[in-house]
Amino acid sequence: MGPDKVQRNLLITGGSRGIGAATARLAAASGWDVAINYTRDAEAAQAVARDVQALGRRAVALQADVASEADVCRLFAQAQAALGPLHGLVANAGIVAMKARLDEMPVERLQRMLDVNVLGSWLCAREAVKCMSTRHGGRGGSIVLLGSVASVLGSGGMYVDYASSKGAIDTFTIGLAREVATEGLRVNAVRPGIIDTEIHADSGDAQRAFKSADVIPMQRPGTADEVANAIVWLLSPAASYVTGAVLAVSGGR
């Protein structure tokens, strides 16, 4: 089981790539057993699970679309059946779409953006509260949501729909943190800036992270590991008095 013998069970949505995968590996190295959620790429999720197991922790890969209430309820049931009671949630699953103006966006795109990025985070956090809150018989825990620096920049001419969905995460983090603060639950968010992950290909430019270096005060994109470090710290007892925080990991942007 590794040097840390305390059993801590973590569910990461969107854990098969990018920030989610980096968080799974770092959390395992920090003593967490990990349930890795994915939507389509089972092979990638299984590869992350093997990395977690190689670090001496338990891991399971579980398919679910976070935009589906039935899928989310099944995901939490399966994660706890495999690992035991949950002590942490990283609501990382999210999407972005091709660069466009609002007047070019079909309603189907807008609806899917809200369903995955906002509704998905609400549903996962709701189920985490049911599992971990002392009000529901749980032992407490930590929820970390994934926002974006886009929420404060607006991303005009790029993807205002994505930016707006992440603005909802900022507000939700503060509200939920205050709602459950006396129930053994801490709720925080990480607000990444431009990070070198696969998500940029989804917006039509796989090299965007490096092309955008000149707009970042630190003059470089961040890495998934740098975001994962912040997430795992927020999950940990080292952040025991931190709740309702939105932590920018953005190179100063």
Which residue among the candidates 38, 159, 162, 241 is catalytic per the annotation?
Answer: 162
Quote the pLDDT of residue 201: 52
2 has pLDDT over 50: no
* Alpha carbons 117 and 67: distance in angstroms, whole number: 8
Q: Name the residue range of residue 25's domain.
A: 8-249
CATH number at residue 77: 3.40.50.720
* Alpha carbons 48 and 60: distance in angstroms, whole number: 9
- Other CB atoms closer than 10 Å to residue 211's CB: what's the count? 12
Task: With respect to residue 197, please indicate whether it lies within any of the assigned structural domains.
Answer: yes
Task: With respect to residue 33, please indicate whether it lies within any of the assigned structural domains.
Answer: yes
| pTM score, whole prediction | 0.93
Q: What is the phi/psi pair of residue 146, to 5°?
A: -105, 115
What does the block give as tokens for 108? 């189907």
pLDDT in tens, 54-88: 999 999 999 999 999 999 999 999 999 999 999 99
Task: With respect to residue 3, please indicate whether it lies within any of the assigned structural domains.
Answer: no
189 has pLDDT over 60: yes
Strands (DSSP E) found in the chain: 8-12, 32-38, 59-63, 88-91, 141-146, 185-192, 246-249
- Please, which pLDDT band fits residue 197 given cuts at 50, 70 and 90? confident
Domain total of the chain: 1
Pairing between β-strand 185-192 and β-strand 246-249 as defined by DSSP bridges: parallel
Task: With respect to residue 77, please indicate whether it lies within any of the assigned structural domains.
Answer: yes
Q: 162 an active-site residue?
A: yes
Task: With respect to residue 220, please indicate whether it lies within any of the assigned structural domains.
Answer: yes
Task: With respect to residue 1, please indicate whether it lies within any of the assigned structural domains.
Answer: no
